[in-house]
Structure 1
Amino acid sequence: MVTAQSRQKSYADLKRKHVEFEVGDHVALPPSLSRVHNVFHVSQLRKYVSDPSHVLSYKTLGLQEDLSFNERPVKILDRKDKVLRNKTISLVKVMWRNNVVEEATWELELDMLQQYSELFQ
């Protein structure tokens, strides 16, 4: 196991760049995230090179005051029954607004029917 970890570390080290940040260095965030906590783990930061022609484009997410986000389902893509030991659970694959098909999730059909009956018309 130690050998595998050592090999993984050597591969990761090849791609790792040493970057140093100082207090006052700027990192670009879209205005919609201005209320998110402004402290990040250093591994998530990238050096920002100032460029006056650089214009950030972003899509408004519709965050509420408490920074929560209400997502709405768009349509049901698929259905399946999951068989457990002593019962069967009906699931539906749901495509959500502002997401692509690859990010669709499997949800309990009963819950979706209760909350979003219009999807089952």
Structure 2
Amino acid sequence: GPEMIEVTNAKVDVAKEKLKEARTRQKNYVDKHRRSLEFQPGDHVFLKVSLARGVRSFGIKGKLSPRFIGPFEILDRVGEVSYRLALPPQLSHVHNVFHVSLLRGYKYHPLHVISYPLDQIRIDLSYVEEPEAILDLQDR
């Protein structure tokens, strides 16, 4: 009867309170390790390249493959945590708005600029390398 409903409601309230405590504890833990990043229009940033399984990124396999490409200029801020980047024409098939977690700040230095085959980048920011020529053959 009514007592059972009261007991059930009390248990639901306790469960809600425990969930709220757990959420607060996890948020505090994550916030300690989070870096607050803010960029201004005109700043330059590197863009994180997603490493797909079985796909070589920009011709270099494994640990030596670049994790970031760029630098790209920030055009404007979109919402609280997203930015619109000025991507080159070769990346026109990639959406130009990115979450701040995919960006890394950049200060210009002439030795930092490396050219990548931007015309072969897919929509998911991955790149598949194909051999140009067979240099040697071994019979077994």
Question: Shared fold by TM > 0.5?
Answer: no
Please report the TM-score for the alignment, with normalisation by the length of structure 1: 0.41
Please report the TM-score for the alignment, with normalisation by the length of structure 2: 0.36
Higher relative contact order (CA 8 A, sep 6+): 2
